[in-house]
Amino acid sequence: MRKLCAALVFLAFLPAPQALAHKVIASVYASGDVVEGEIGFSNGDMASDATVEVFDDDGNKLGETVTDETGAFTYKPEKAVPLVFKANLGAGHVAQVRMSAEELPEIGGAEATSPALVAAEAAAGAAEPASSAAAAPGASAGSSGVDLAALLEAQHKMITEAVQKQVIPLRRDIDAYKEKHDMQSILGGIGYIFGIFGVAFYIAARRKMTAA
Amino acid sequence: MHIVDGALANDVVIGGTVLAVGGIALGLKSLTAEKMPAAGVLSATFFVASLIHVPIGPSSVHLIMNGLAGLVLGWAAFPALFVGLLLQAVFFGFGGLTVLGVNTLNIALPAVIVYYLCRRGVASNSLTTAAISGAIGGGLAIALTTAFVAIALALSGDEFIPAAKLVFFAHIPIMIIEALVTGAAVVLARRVKPELFATFNRSTTEEVAL
């Protein structure tokens, strides 16, 4: 018995390769002009170094990306079509999540990596030398027009980013909440099982009584 | 343990479904009115056991309890475990509806195999023998289940040996826990309700006597 306990303790500390007996959870959301996603298991383990393939609705492969050690991945869409993200985590675990065209991030825009703040600064920086260089009063009207458009665009980007930043934790919470098994459904399931076997028992008993 | 929708090739899904339907038919035939309450309780046990995740080291595991179901029910484990799996798929999205047949086969067939291997030991007069048989049955059922899962994956294109190894080693803690739990359950059942195994195996002992 002592040996058995020792073996149990030893096994408890063995690193399990992956959480195999669990459901796979995948979620995607737009962030800036890329799609960010997470793949993990229902017990909280994340799927690291998994290859995520991206398909369109017709099953044509558009590209692929790899998750980092926290199970997160990013993908920059090139076409405004619904995207299907698939990852095979092995041992019967397949993650699949679809993103409709409306949910997609804006495609194109400024440099891929520049966040809105940088874009706004760049717009302001571009406007300053333009106005200082154009010391001649004739050119100033044209430069302020460009300035306004760039500012508006930067503002739009900033707002989008701020909203996304606020919404992402909420989305994560909702995704986690969906995986929660509440007591009611567990009790409901047990009720169903007893109900099904009760009906079967009733039928069997009736058969027995008519036979007797 | 629960294979999800879309992980298996179509032929494997269809083959598994056909075999599972066969198993359920056989099970329903052997499911007498006397066995039915036990089948319901074990079905509920299986349903709940898969929901309770026990943290072990960096990961967590959940019990399956198909060994105990097999030891008590024999072929009737097929319909009992099928009902549990069906409700898990509907309520919690464990596994999926299209792979229900394969999952039933993977979990219920080991239960039946364990029944044939260990039923004598469990019904033996010595309580120690019964406990050890129960423990072996509980552990073996999980080992066989991992093997069947690996076979199903191998038939769908995964390499068999790595897939089997991965599934098997991840489930070693569960095998040990299930062995202990099943052994304890057998001892308890023998003490408080000795007729549980005796009654259900009466037909077979009668056959032996004849």
pLDDT value of position A143: 55
B7 to A88: CB separation less than 8 angstroms, yes or no: yes
- The answer to whether residue A4 sits within a structural domain is no
Alpha-carbon distance values, B45 to B80, B81, B102 (Å): 10, 10, 20
Nearest Cα residue in chain A from B9? A92
- The answer to whether residue A100 sits within a structural domain is yes
Task: Report the percent of chain A where pLDDT is more than 70.
Answer: 58
Indicate if A78 and A148 belong to the same structural domain. Answer: no
Indicate if A74 and A43 belong to the same structural domain. Answer: yes
pLDDT value of position B113: 92
Quote the minimal CA–CA distance from A107 to chain B in Å: 31
Q: What is the count of structural domains for chain A?
A: 3
Quote the minimal CA–CA distance from B210 to chain A in Å: 26
Indicate if A96 and A148 belong to the same structural domain. Answer: no
Give one word for A35, left, alpha or beta, with left for phi > 0 and alpha for psi -120 to 50.
Answer: beta
Indicate if A143 and A195 belong to the same structural domain. Answer: no
Position B169 confidence tier, pLDDT thresholds 50, 70, 90: confident
Token pair belonging to A24: 């796979």
Among residues A142, A104, A149, the alpha carbon closest in space to that of A123 is found at A149
Position A123 confidence tier, pLDDT thresholds 50, 70, 90: low
Position A121 confidence tier, pLDDT thresholds 50, 70, 90: low
3 state DSSP class of B67? helix
pLDDT value of position A148: 85
pLDDT value of position A180: 67
Residue given tokens 């398909």 in the structure block? A55
Query: Taking CB atoms and an 8 Å cutoff, what residues of chain A touch B33?
Result: 201, 204-205, 208
pLDDT value of position B22: 92
Query: Taking CB atoms and an 8 Å cutoff, what residues of chain A touch B13?
Result: none
Nearest Cα residue in chain A from B103? A92
Question: Which CATH number does the domain B10-209 belong to among 3.60.15.10, 3.90.1170.40, 1.10.1760.20, 3.30.360.10?
Answer: 1.10.1760.20
- Least confident range from A155-164, B84-93, B188-197: namely B188-197
Domain boundaries, position A210: 185-212
**Domain holding A37: CATH number?**
2.60.40.1930
Nearest Cα residue in chain B from A44? B59
Indicate if A90 and A53 belong to the same structural domain. Answer: yes
pLDDT value of position B186: 87
Indicate if A100 and A34 belong to the same structural domain. Answer: yes
Indicate if A141 and A207 belong to the same structural domain. Answer: no
- The answer to whether residue A6 sits within a structural domain is no
- The answer to whether residue A17 sits within a structural domain is no
Query: Taking CB atoms and an 8 Å cutoff, what residues of chain B touch A186?
Result: 48, 51
- The answer to whether residue A16 sits within a structural domain is no
The residue with greater pLDDT, B51 or A196, is A196
Domain locations in chain B as residue ranges: 10-209
